[in-house]
């Protein structure tokens, strides 16, 4: 249990029938008239839904213990992604639903943050950008410039993104894991 005066960004609260909500932002408000309150923006840990919620100042809220560990993606086992804890070498089988969109950017050996609560995997979080190789794209044509259009390209993970016309098959690029946007070439 914690007081609403102790809220911090990233803290996970247990509200509304044991649903887990992460504090995105909070603001303590002391109006000139009436009691103080805390205005928060909360994100549902499982669904990603964001809501605004107001608490009276000093009210007790239940906190949840979320264990975040850096784990290395090892391999696919049927429908499960197998991650290995780098300290204990324990393996963890994670469902496709828990991995979510991170599956588009996972290759063997990548390190990701795996969040668990009471033994249940909540989500898998990748760094904001990853470096991947272009597996297949149409060849560029003489005269293609960086300010031109885009074309589809398939990454080594099988995920398709849009890249500038001058990018060729086999090139290593940087990709934003949140939006699937091309960020630039990687100099080897």
CA–CA separation, 178 and 43 (whole Å) = 16
3-class secondary-structure state, position 102: helix
Query: Strands 2-3 and 50-56, how do they pair?
Result: unpaired
pLDDT band, very low/low/confident/very high, at 143 (cuts 50, 70, 90): low
Residues 2-48: tens digit of each pLDDT: 888 888 887 888 887 778 888 888 898 888 888 889 999 998 887 77
CA pseudo-torsion sign 96, 101, 106, 111: negative
Q: Is the pTM of this model over 0.85?
A: no
Q: Do domains 67-125 and 129-185 have the same CATH topology?
A: yes
For residue 50, list its beta bridge partners: 43
Give tens-digit pLDDT for 145-167: 556 678 899 999 899 999 888 88
Average pLDDT value for residue range 54-78: 88
pLDDT of 139 strictly over 90: no
Query: What pLDDT does residue 140 have?
Result: 67
Q: Which pLDDT belongs to residue 145?
A: 59
- pLDDT score for 44: 85
Q: Is the pLDDT of residue 49 over 60?
A: yes
Q: Which CATH class is domain 67-125?
A: mainly beta
Residue 155, pLDDT score: 92
What burial class does residue 108 get, using C-beta atoms within 10 Å of its C-beta: 0-12 exposed, 13-18 middle, 19+ buried?
exposed
pLDDT band at 144 (very low <50, low <70, confident <90, very high): low
pLDDT tens for each residue of 57-66: 888 888 888 8
Q: Is the pLDDT of residue 186 over 90?
A: no
Using one digit for the tens of pLDDT, what is the confidence trace for 90-137?
A: 889 988 888 888 888 988 888 998 888 888 888 888 888 899 999 998
Architecture field, domain 129-185: Beta Barrel (2.40)
In sequence order, which residues have a C-beta less than 8 Å from that of residue 179 and are 6 or more positions away? none
Give me the residues paired with residue 137 across strands.
153
| Domain ranges (residues) in the chain | 2-63, 67-125, 129-185
Q: How far apart are CA 117 and CA 1, in angstroms?
A: 16
At the top level of CATH, the class of 2-63 is mainly beta
As beta bridge partners, residue 14 has: 20, 62
């Amino acid at each position: 249990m914690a007081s609403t005066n102790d809220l911090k960004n990233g803290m996970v609260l247990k509200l509304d029938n044991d649903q887990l909500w992460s504090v995105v932002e909070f603001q303590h408000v002391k109006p000139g008239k009436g009691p103080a309150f805390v205005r928060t923006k909360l994100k549902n840990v499982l669904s990603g839904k964001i809501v605004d919620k107001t608490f009276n100042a000093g009210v007790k809220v239940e906190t949840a213990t979320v264990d975040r560990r850096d784990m290395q993606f090892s391999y696919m086992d049927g429908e499960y992604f197998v991650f290995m804890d780098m300290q204990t070498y324990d393996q963890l089988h994670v469902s496709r639903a828990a991995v979510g969109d991170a599956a588009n950017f996972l290759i063997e050996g990548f390190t990701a943050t795996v969040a668990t609560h009471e033994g249940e995997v909540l989500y898998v979080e990748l760094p904001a950008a990853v470096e991947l190789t272009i597996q297949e794209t149409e060849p560029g044509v003489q005269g293609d410039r960086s300010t031109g259009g885009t074309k589809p390209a398939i990454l080594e993970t099988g995920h398709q993104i849009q890249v500038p016309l001058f990018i060729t098959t086999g090139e290593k690029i940087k990709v934003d894991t949140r939006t699937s946007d091309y960020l630039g070439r990687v100099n080897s």
